[in-house]
Chain A
């Protein structure tokens, strides 16, 4: 997509002679060139997550049974008619009178933390295995590649649900499952990268100078892999958030008393007729963050590692 934006941008007037250009065409130029809006969205959501205990209007589980399914704040008639509801809910309240906005903010903590941790751990495991695989080759490599193939051919979602039943629903189980969902995605790419990197002269020099395998892998190969791994992380984070939300939705993710975006949408199913805001706002949060990180991922990939374009 970078090639697109670049070519489109170059047909626009050069920014240096921008005196005649209006503010909006300059803005449009910047917006097309850099993923400004997605970065702002992600930053805002992360800020919301981090500041939930201080900024959230209510407590995470604070109930107001008089305000069950109270609509968002712009439904002024509701609040005028029900004078006993003194609280105001910006995005409405759920079936127990809990504030939706508050729960979205707290939900962001779990959803983002779970996705972030499992992604980093899964990527680290996958990258290490890919590096060892590519560096040593032979039997280990062969076994590793087959293992990746086999894992990719397994119905992950069902295995995950099964595991959630067997071990019970908990954040730990979910983390392990998501790590399992992640690792296989990097092994092949990292391995391919290592196969070319290890034939470089500097690797041979290091070998001559007496560098051990570990030193070569850590000092000379790892820096060359960072681009690929970072790009892969940003490309995968969206899918991982969707997987987490899907598992929560099916009742196999985070225990349902903890607010996550997937759990909130799942709860809302029974109240679609009466309280649309219960489903729509958490769902929009998922949609927004996934769209933003995908956009950033595409942009990073085109800048740093266009060879991954098939992904």
Chain B
């Protein structure tokens, strides 16, 4: 167990180094780093400014040294200031994090509430209309591009029916109904794909468990059907869906990039896209670094969940 933890820790560090290395190399390939800081209006920086920047970025040193200096600053949380508004990158990112977390949690709850019950029903009523409904839902959910789903949602519920706002996040308005209404479409859009994933996973693992010997035994000795399904089968069938839930949460990060830009949801995903359109490199680096940390933490969590939930698994 300790060995496993140590291995995972080393791996987490390696992942972070790799992600930052990619970002660093790409950001250096973007051209002279000094030019990034030259404003369109005042192109000519003063000699002192250039010297100070060169000193800070260590541009006269070998590339590998530059990387470690850059990494050192990044690790201590110094991402610099955004190019556009010249604000601290960390502050800007943390400001937007709340909106993304709110959306992520809502979508996660929705995906769980739709995917797992439908998966169970689909498995126990296999071959019936319910099963076909569940499988069609899964097929559709996995094939619909989230941005397209979002646009169709806006088209139907905002443009045509005028029930829900087409986007934005009304922070100043009351939670109910305004904020919830604004949250509805992005949540649906972000939650659809994981709902389909949960459904497939729950269905296949439920089918597998229902086919196992101990379930047959329970049935043979006359245990009530509902008890067999919910007490014997369902609990064990939940192992795969629960263990992937950490990965699904990570997937929301990537999903949020698309969904937030469709709905103008002021979260981290949209921040990333905006920073790209504004060529705001320090900001983008900060966002990617934060994503990488969450990624690594998420996959670590996924491994831990396996251990906690399924005692049969031992990483030794």
Using a CB–CB cutoff of 8 Å, the interface residues on chain A facing chain B are 1, 4, 7-8, 11, 146, 149-159, 161-163, 165-167, 238, 242, 245-246, 249-252, 262, 265-266, 268-269, 272-273, 276, 279-280, 283, 286-287, 290-291, 294-295, 309
Contacts and interface: CB of A to CB of B under 8 A. Distances in A.
Interface residues of B, number: 49
Contact of B147 (A7, A11, A265, A280): A265
A150 B257 contact: no
Contacts of B159: 272-273, 276
Interface of B: 11, 14-15, 18-19, 22-23, 26-27, 29-30, 126-127, 131, 135, 139-140, 142-148, 151-152, 154-155, 159, 204, 253-254, 257-258, 261-262, 272-273, 276-277, 279, 284, 287-288, 291-292, 295-296, 299
B139 A246 contact: no
A155 B295 CA distance: 7
Nearest to B288: A158
Given A153-B295, A250-B273, A252-B276, A162 B284 contact: yes
Which of A155, A159, A280 has the most chain B CB atoms closer than 10 A to its own CB?
A155
A279 B262 CA distance: 13
A215 to B, nearest CB: 35
Determine the main DSSP class of B at the interface with A: helix
Contact of B151 (A157, A167, A268, A290): A268
A165 B29 CA distance: 10
B291 A272 contact: no
Contacts of B131: 4
A178 B262 CA distance: 23
A291 B261 contact: no
A250 B261 contact: yes
B181 to A, nearest CB: 18
A159 B155 contact: no
A294 B197 CA distance: 13
Nearest to B273: A250
Contacts of B19: 153-155, 159
Contacts of B14: 146, 150
Given A165-B279, A279-B151, A280-B152, A153 B272 contact: no
Given A162-B288, A291-B140, A154 B151 contact: no
A268 B262 CA distance: 12
Given A155-B19, A155-B253, A159-B23, A280 B143 contact: no
Contact of A161 (B15, B204, B273, B299): B273
Nearest to B284: A162
Given A166-B30, A272-B159, A286 B139 contact: no
Contacts of A290: 142-145
A309 B240 CA distance: 13
Contacts of A149: 11, 15
Contacts of A294: 139, 142-143
A283 B276 contact: no
A117 to B, nearest CB: 20
Which of A11, A158, A265 has the most chain B CB atoms closer than 10 A to its own CB?
A158
B145 A159 contact: no
A279 B156 CA distance: 12
A307 to B, nearest CB: 13
Which of B14, B30, B147, B299 has the most chain A CB atoms closer than 10 A to its own CB?
B147
